[in-house]
Structure 1
């Protein structure tokens, strides 16, 4: 953001603002999928060669569907994924494909996109060699001092994180990254899988839909170069003494996105398999998309690689303001190490505004992809002071700007003060801390002509003593909807100085995101593999979790330990991981929900030292995190409120004496709290601390004190959208259908089904029934419907036609399926992101058969234990009328 202009004076108006109802204009808020494109996974047959597996499948496909129009894009011949990438013209064919010999599953191909990568210019001083703050924070500097800098470890790097990164790759000409590319260089290899023009078919240009690979993964905008520097920057070859976590390791860079900022699942799978084949010991992915489920194909393949003895670190996401249950995929993968972000303890950029009373107030600002020129003349601005609420910051800022404000001064709500996503609004907003906001509020009330200004030379670099080491406000919360603990651990990712392409700020810049935290964790993993051997890879998540340091919610004396849904087990410590001799396994205990409570858990303590040790065990609960406010079904935004409502833990032993080499299992019995309202979907978490001389380890646990089968999924209130969901609207006019309506399907005159879900669902089915059908809303039907899908991913608007006619629901004939989605993440409260799912209804059934002219109703069902059901007003299909 560029507010450093000469003597800008701001008249200050003050009010608090809640987000109002969003516009109902149809804008296609639903996951993007490559039209008709699927990944068909095949069962490897040990009696057949790989190509024979594919040949058998394609021969049978040709016999069963000889007249279908299909194209084979790619065949995958790999022990971790054998399959075929196909584009099909009719989803009726998918029912046939699913039943062919050797077919394991059919996965739709998602399209992942990302906005621009934001940076802030570097400081005007150098860090002290050996004391680069992010490395001090995790003890890496002391491991370096012992001579371990990751030499001999191979790290494969993928870079794209929604919503942080942009064009992928690396500026390998950067001197801090070795200045060369190929064997013998720091960046010893890699691959560009897509080419600059690749857009995964999003623009409709056939050229953009086809990858054009080449061997040079050159960076376009800086994200990949910044990530690479966090791992590999040589402190002797840059003016700031930026020190990579494992700067003697060998890097390979895998570019998976074109310069338009788009990639797809099949490209990611191909890249993962290549990185595995090329022998990378650590594979790190600064990429992701809203998910919350463990089932996406990228999550599955990444987990398989991890189980094969490679370390896979993946960014948890940058949606902290969206609240709990918002982990990205493939970080949601069961066996990958999902990484959250903590704020840098070291000096970072702050800016200041001056008040008419002589006060100097620090603020955070957004970044810019490139330096912006100062305005030609001073600007007179009207500013509005707004307290950060529970909805997305971008929503609040936009609502104020829509009322005519030119600048928004957003002040914190008592949570962690640090960088927050502002997106395209970064030029019109600043973020100040709670106390400063309240001081401004008081000053305005006391002084009629109170003003503020932004001096031209207003930057400063100061240590972060207030929030350094705490979970970053932008870092996404877990857990997954199938109750896996995400993130696993956290590392520094807030306000990190690293390398960028030489055309941006002369090659160095600050940036923030779990994209920045993830390579830090990958570097620590490389140091561990260097010290313990490459065969230790499958133990690294446990080691990082048990030796991590506890993260409080704040540094106030009364602060809770932060929920493990925010930062995982804690902040990783390379020093602890490589100096502690005690080993505790596993690193995490998953308690599930109260309907499936796994209250009896076991962990093992091993004395790996040379002397006998006494261990003292105790329960250290974290604050219990509410997903919703009492009496509301709306998800709470971050930072989520914490309360004292812990589980009760009974340990089989609270004191243990172990000889060198001796191990002892401990039984822990967990009882969920009774004092908490289960309708708030409270996340309970914490640690079992295991302390001995000079070492404090822990086992972390997480569960939910509610029965997830009873959680309401569909938002049936007008609180966010201004109208009760679900509802139909005209795609052309945006008008909401309240009674019978006729659609011609000409000039965009067609119905759009809007469904807002406030908790993840395994299935959303949309069918057509007779206009005379009587199906009361909220009928629950146990078990799957006769038209249920067995596909493992979202299957619906990624292809215009799906399934055949027939079946019934609640004894009412279903005339045909219109659409179906599976494994959907919940919506958030940000109208610019994922506030509602919008399903365009075509004039044909999902199998391509035209819907006869006539009157119908649309039946929508969302799955929890049973179905939540909605039936539309009468819809008259009159194509071409």
Structure 2
């Protein structure tokens, strides 16, 4: 039986489901067809390089690929090839469709196969505070129009005539509108945009067949064009902006259509194409939550970096979801993962408040909204702390809102959902008031007039409305704006993702300006716009790399990450006096200073130190300081701690803290020997560092401690950045055993109506027809190197660690070898699984689900009978051969009773 669901039938059946409390996500909302992070039945098979198999085998005459395919056919494995990769120093293999999970295991055992990885779905890049601007006639530019350039020293290098000339940068994104006059107006040799490739076509969504061609034009997405402008926009435009490296040559590699997602297989293909095209720098403002460094995209990005190319990749925009939430392919060990710092100035308009005494209210936009007349306000609720304001259709009692400015609180769902629900009641003008912790930015919702205002101003207007005050708002009408200091200017952007990886690697590497960035958009989409995201910080870093390569030579590419990290400067957590430095797990080594990277005469290696967790603590490290100058230099070494991030929620919670992650003053201690020395020209000196983890911390909250070793001379200040975890990663709870998400204790088995199957006297039978199948629903509180789902007999003699009594890891009667577990057969196995978020859908990584359709992983049918399903998750740093290193859950007994004729 081929398992499938008819959407209308599913909706009709699930409409009878018992609804959970409104505080929870309803089980009936689960989409059983949603495959989450993975592309169905799609895998990337990595094969041994030419060196590994010796090219064509003398006795067969077959290539590496042909040899593996021949072995697969001999084993009866059915497969379809999507793409082949054959660059010996980077990646040899193929992406392919393999229907049977059991066949996947067989492929991994074939001689010449190095790894088999599932193809990951990579979502369309998320940006924040995005809006377009069109033809402002009289912009009042600030005294420092290139604020992001001033923040990072790019303006100093431009003054020296360093613009990235002679450097080629490949942009893997949604393409480039090369017809934009600020991007050269044309494509091909002699132009700014010298070429590229479209791997997907306009209609590609990640769910259909790509239609590639040689034209990387971006006319309907815009993300890639915004990225391209940050790197290469020509100066002399009406907004007085320019790219970081506007004399560099660009090439566009399109992997996103007009809408939807892409795959890491297509991203790998594009990285290899950019590498073969000779790009000096490859930049990717994209990624998907991963948490591990083993994904195919991460591996390929790292190998390209090892070949002397610079690869910059967005760290991710999941800062609100807390620590341990890094993205692939930025997790590549040698790739440069880039976090975001907010622009120090933002373009703002001012709204005049009439009827009560209140200062003008700013909103972010380069141009005034098209609003005339003095309009009264209307608030949907007097609860200014409700997060899901307007996330659902408004009640029938809501009046006609067409003549009002409607106030909506930010949070929980998208701006578009809030605005569209309110627009159904006639509203035409909307003000979204911010949260206290959110960054003030612009909003772009198609065909609606909407802006964001500060939290305090929003609360004031709501209070006045419900107090009965006659308040009206007057919007500016002249085409001008004021540049204001952002409340979070120069600080880590709240959206910027937190690391580290579960295998304790250092992500992000450093930060660059990514909040409130003006750049180019496709001509058909308004020409210019403001966007925020690590998507914007990443091309800034790529442009910065081009300046360094031009100035210092391309031979420094392999050491460029160390150079940037050692010359960066730590970012404070807040603007308050005495604020600690932001945790390294979000800011990396801090904000890059590109002029220092170009002109430093001191080289420090390594520039980043991973201390691991306290169970595997790496306390001794050696750093090397080299003086490349012409005079002796005396250096002083000292320790500066950053705030320690409490990565778990309080009260012994198993869940990650939401961002912004709470910081405490609990520093590691460091002995530095020697703490001062003189280095002669061309010579090096070493210093020994002995670290001790902080002791005055609550280890139940898995604190992440970090900081900097400062290396100071009379003319320079450099640094080495370190990070560690004050706890044992192996002791962290993996599987969610609470009812906090669905209102039902997890993991659970769900029936066809969306209700949980309970352990009871009345057996739950499934006909295995249509949606009458069991679904295992589980959530990950922490990452796991391996998650296994197996079928067991109903009387299986095991006691899982996850029981009604809680976590009882000592109740494990099996042997030290996991093959002793008495299972009937494998249903699913996943490698390197990240923790889940607190978001609501499977594609948002809110939960994991496995639909059991009556087949084993090898596609053979399970016979009628009574069974249980065993779910196991390997602990971080655990031994996959030891049963005691897994957490486990055993389902209730259920019956498989096929309908007659099946």
Give the TM-score of the pair, scaled to structure 2: 0.84
Question: What residue number does 2:622 align with?
Answer: 602
State yes or no: 1:338 paired with 2:337. Answer: yes
Question: What residue number does 2:394 align with?
Answer: none
Q: For 1:355-754, what aligned pairs fall within 5 Å after superposition?
A: 356-360=355-359, 362=361, 381-384=378-381, 385-387=383-385, 394-395=411-412, 410-413=433-436, 415=437, 417-419=439-441, 432-433=453-454, 436=457, 447=467, 449=469, 453=473, 455=475, 457=477, 460-505=481-526, 507-631=527-651, 632-730=653-751, 732-739=752-759, 740-754=763-777
Assess if the C-alpha contact under 8 Å between 1:129 and 1:235 holds in 2. Answer: no
State yes or no: 1:232 paired with 2:240. Answer: no
Pair 1:61–1:155, CA change in 2 (3 A): same
Assess if the C-alpha contact under 8 Å between 2:284 and 2:312 holds in 1. Answer: yes
Q: Gapped runs of 5+ residues in structure 1?
A: 1-17, 160-167, 203-207, 789-806
Question: What residue number does 1:290 align with?
Answer: 289
CA distance in 2, matches of 1:377, 1:357: 14
Q: CA deviation at 1:222?
A: 0.9
State yes or no: 1:857 paired with 2:857. Answer: no
Pair 1:109–1:423, CA change in 2 (3 A): farther
CA distance in 1, matches of 2:499, 2:474: 38
Assess if the C-alpha contact under 8 Å between 1:853 and 1:876 holds in 2. Answer: yes
Q: For 2:485, what is the secondary structure of its paired residue?
A: coil
State yes or no: 1:268 paired with 2:267. Answer: yes
CA distance in 1, matches of 2:590, 2:472: 40
Pair 1:737–1:461, CA change in 2 (3 A): farther
CA distance in 2, matches of 1:871, 1:511: 47
The one of 830, 846, 849 equivalent to 1:821 is: 830
CA distance in 1, matches of 2:415, 2:543: 38
Assess if the C-alpha contact under 8 Å between 2:602 and 2:627 holds in 1. Answer: yes
Assess if the C-alpha contact under 8 Å between 2:142 and 2:483 holds in 1. Answer: no
Pair 1:758–1:353, CA change in 2 (3 A): farther
Q: CA deviation at 1:504?
A: 2.0
Assess if the C-alpha contact under 8 Å between 1:551 and 1:561 holds in 2. Answer: yes
Pair 1:108–1:151, CA change in 2 (3 A): same
Pair 1:63–1:366, CA change in 2 (3 A): farther
CA distance in 1, matches of 2:266, 2:817: 31
CA distance in 1, matches of 2:674, 2:857: 59
Assess if the C-alpha contact under 8 Å between 1:198 and 1:212 holds in 2. Answer: no
State yes or no: 1:155 paired with 2:169. Answer: yes
State yes or no: 1:36 paired with 2:41. Answer: yes
Q: CA deviation at 1:55?
A: 2.2
CA distance in 2, matches of 1:423, 1:716: 40
Question: What residue number does 2:890 align with?
Answer: 871
Instruction: Give the stretch that moved more between structures: 562-571 or 776-785.
Output: 776-785
Write out per-residue CA displacement over residues 848-876 of structure 1, whole angstroms, 9 at most, x where no aligned residue.
11111222111111111322111111222
The one of 772, 782, 797 equivalent to 1:759 is: 782
Q: For 1:484, what is the secondary structure of its paired residue?
A: coil
CA distance in 2, matches of 1:580, 1:350: 41
Q: For 1:94, what is the secondary structure of its paired residue?
A: helix
Question: What residue number does 1:73 align with?
Answer: 82
The one of 50, 59, 64 equivalent to 2:75 is: 64
CA distance in 1, matches of 2:769, 2:122: 30
Assess if the C-alpha contact under 8 Å between 1:19 and 1:395 holds in 2. Answer: no
CA distance in 2, matches of 1:298, 1:33: 14
Q: For 1:640, what is the secondary structure of its paired residue?
A: coil
Write out per-residue CA displacement over residues 460-515 of structure 1, whole angstroms, 9 at most, x where no aligned residue.
4323253211111111111111111111111111110000011222x111111111
Assess if the C-alpha contact under 8 Å between 2:351 and 2:476 holds in 1. Answer: no
CA distance in 2, matches of 1:675, 1:179: 60
Assess if the C-alpha contact under 8 Å between 1:780 and 1:869 holds in 2. Answer: no
CA distance in 2, matches of 1:667, 1:230: 40
Give the TM-score of the pair, scaled to structure 1: 0.86
CA distance in 2, matches of 1:141, 1:580: 17
Q: CA deviation at 1:658?
A: 2.4
State yes or no: 1:178 paired with 2:184. Answer: yes
Q: For 1:189-204, what aligned pairs fall within 5 Å after superposition?
A: 189-200=195-206, 202=207
Instruction: Give the stretch that moved more between structures: 496-505 or 33-42.
Output: 33-42
Q: CA deviation at 1:448?
A: 5.2
Q: CA deviation at 1:550?
A: 1.3
Q: Gapped runs of 5+ residues in structure 2?
A: 1-20, 57-61, 392-409, 424-429, 802-807, 879-884
Instruction: Give the stretch that moved more between structures: 125-134 or 318-327.
Output: 125-134
CA distance in 1, matches of 2:855, 2:287: 33
Q: CA deviation at 1:820?
A: 1.9
Q: CA deviation at 1:561?
A: 0.3
Residues paired across the two proteins, number: 819
Q: Which has the higher contact order (CA 8 A, sep 6+)?
A: 1
Pair 1:115–1:600, CA change in 2 (3 A): closer
CA distance in 1, matches of 2:869, 2:360: 55
State yes or no: 1:838 paired with 2:849. Answer: yes
Q: CA deviation at 1:193?
A: 1.2
Pair 1:518–1:321, CA change in 2 (3 A): same
Pair 1:375–1:169, CA change in 2 (3 A): farther
Q: CA deviation at 1:365?
A: 7.0
CA distance in 1, matches of 2:691, 2:67: 51
Q: For 1:41-120, what aligned pairs fall within 5 Å after superposition?
A: 41-46=46-51, 48-49=54-55, 52-65=63-76, 68-79=77-88, 80-114=90-124, 119-120=130-131
State yes or no: 1:21 paired with 2:35. Answer: no
Instruction: Give the stretch that moved more between structures: 448-457 or 871-880.
Output: 448-457
Assess if the C-alpha contact under 8 Å between 2:495 and 2:533 holds in 1. Answer: yes
Question: What residue number does 1:135 align with?
Answer: 149
Write out per-residue CA displacement over residues 696-751 of structure 1, whole angstroms, 9 at most, x where no aligned residue.
11110001101000011122122233222111223x42222224422223341222
Q: CA deviation at 1:373?
A: 8.5
Pair 1:444–1:198, CA change in 2 (3 A): closer
CA distance in 2, matches of 1:649, 1:844: 56
Instruction: Give the stretch that moved more between structures: 685-694 or 488-497.
Output: 685-694
CA distance in 2, matches of 1:218, 1:474: 26
CA distance in 2, matches of 1:868, 1:425: 47
CA distance in 2, matches of 1:74, 1:544: 36
CA distance in 2, matches of 1:361, 1:823: 51
Question: What residue number does 2:400 align with?
Answer: none
Pair 1:216–1:400, CA change in 2 (3 A): closer
CA distance in 2, matches of 1:467, 1:559: 13
Question: What residue number does 1:213 align with?
Answer: 213
Assess if the C-alpha contact under 8 Å between 2:747 and 2:778 holds in 1. Answer: yes
Q: For 1:77, what is the secondary structure of its paired residue?
A: strand
Write out per-residue CA displacement over residues 658-701 of structure 1, whole angstroms, 9 at most, x where no aligned residue.
22333211111110111101110111001011122231111100
